[in-house]
Amino acid sequence: MKKQFRVFAAMIMALSLILAACGNSGDSGNSESSGEGEGNGSGNASGGDKVKLEIFSWWTAGGEADALKALLKGFEEKYPNINAVNAAVAGGAGSNAKAVLATRMQGGDPPATFQVHGGAELFTWVDAGKMAPLDKLYEENGWNGVFPPKIVDMNSKNDHVWAVPLDIHRGNVIFYNKKVFEENGVQPPKTFEEFFAAAEKLKAKGVTPLALGDKNIWPATMLFENTLLGKLGAEKYAKLWTGELPFDDPAVKESANIFKKMLGYINENHASLAWQDAAQLVIDGKAAMTVMGDWAEGYFVAKGWKPKEDFGWIETPGTENAFMVINDSFGLPKGVENPDAVKKFLSYLGTKEAQVTFNKIKGSIPARTDVDKSKFNVYSQSTIEDFQAAKESSSLALSLAHGSAASPGFLTKVNNAVNVFVTQQNVDQFISKLKSASSLLKK
């Protein structure tokens, strides 16, 4: 009896192997598009093994890492035959990831998809002929009209769209420790004058006014770009990146002077800290404020801090009506092994479900405009409203520090100039470095 059963089981197994092999034979295109959504297709040519997709990003800090994990989990639940592998490389703003990515792209070994900032950063890959257009994917998913035009522009070039926006971050925010402000009788500062008055008061009481973590220089570059936005306003600020406003304009010099003054109020150990260490100083009450994109909000919440109760926020001085846009998108590199599976991932990123799951944890707002606001906390709800208002008044500004305003080559030069400036604080030298870097801007 037992022997008969074993023979029968062996026959069934052989039959199912033959069937599986037939199902996959000679039609890899079909197998990729067959039914992962329903969880009934094998999805690759190796008979049952999952298709692996390497999802490349730099989301490894508290908040952002959790958001990515939730996103990948949501995707795998929908597509059980695809394994979305987290291939994040640590280092805020892609300080390490971008170099790794460049080596891989140039070596013909692209990840399945990668985090990229809409705007100039994405366009370098488009111009190099490394990306596949996604117009058809937009059509298939009914995305036309679903993302704000400005965000679509940031992801489009030469009449094609090249990436799917997952989030919108706001870059011009001061986050502050409410208790520290209250204990020291400090109000959230709206203007540069108010900022310096508050900083003086805190300093006098022995509290570090402004936490900075510029181990990788970009948080200092952010502080500078926000100062430029505050001083110039969104319209003039935009002219910096087209070459219409020269870097030796008196208002730029004045911004550099304000930036220098701000550096007089930062923590001594700034050069050995990352952005999240600076955010932690605020949580610990060792510093009162930090200027950071709202992934810091994701970090605070991940650490159990509550918006409005434990931390407050206000736009950086002079930028009350402006919105410094930082947009993370994902595209389809040419030459990937499983383009159809990558398209499934990209399609998922654009769903309401994915945009809520991810952005709720990340501190960002959905790129889609038709998502139910009530699913977000009080911070994100106010950001959604501010984005809308800034959009209507043309006060959306592109971030240089986060790749959108100008090319990576120009950004590297600015980061280098900022790096020297933070230690030497020579305004004339700084301005002349910015001016000479501006020859890299496309006129």
Chain residues that interact with ligand GAL, rule: CB under 6 A? 58-59, 64, 92-94, 169, 293, 295, 326, 328, 402
Q: How far is the CB of 88 from ligand GAL (least distance, A)?
A: 10
Asked if residues 146 and 186 have their Cβ atoms less than 8 Å apart, the reply is: no
User: Please, which residue, 210 or 296, has the CB nearer to ligand GAL?
Assistant: 296
Q: Which two tokens stand for residue 30?
A: 């079909």
User: Please, which residue, 92 or 366, has the CB nearer to ligand GAL?
Assistant: 92
Q: How far apart are CA 338 and CA 343, in angstroms?
A: 9
Question: How many other CB atoms are there within 10 angstroms of residue 79's CB atom?
Answer: 25
Asked if residues 246 and 326 have their Cβ atoms less than 8 Å apart, the reply is: no
User: Please, which residue, 58 or 195, has the CB nearer to ligand GAL?
Assistant: 58
User: Please, which residue, 344 or 402, has the CB nearer to ligand GAL?
Assistant: 402
Q: How far is the CB of 95 from ligand GAL (least distance, A)?
A: 8
Q: How far apart are CA 313 and CA 342, in angstroms?
A: 37
User: Please, which residue, 81 or 383, has the CB nearer to ligand GAL?
Assistant: 383
Q: How far is the CB of 411 from ligand GAL (least distance, A)?
A: 11
Burial class for 174, CB neighbours closer than 10 Å (0-12, 13-18, 19+): buried
User: Please, which residue, 65 or 137, has the CB nearer to ligand GAL?
Assistant: 65
Element (H, E) at 18: helix 2-24
User: Please, which residue, 119 or 293, has the CB nearer to ligand GAL?
Assistant: 293
Closest CA to 308 of 167, 171, 181: 181
Closest CA to 396 of 187, 234, 236, 242: 234
Closest CA to 155 of 146, 165, 168, 144: 165
Asked if residues 243 and 438 have their Cβ atoms less than 8 Å apart, the reply is: yes
Q: How far is the CB of 31 from ligand GAL (least distance, A)?
A: 34
Q: How far is the CB of 400 from ligand GAL (least distance, A)?
A: 11
Q: How far is the CB of 261 from ligand GAL (least distance, A)?
A: 26
Q: How far is the CB of 28 from ligand GAL (least distance, A)?
A: 34
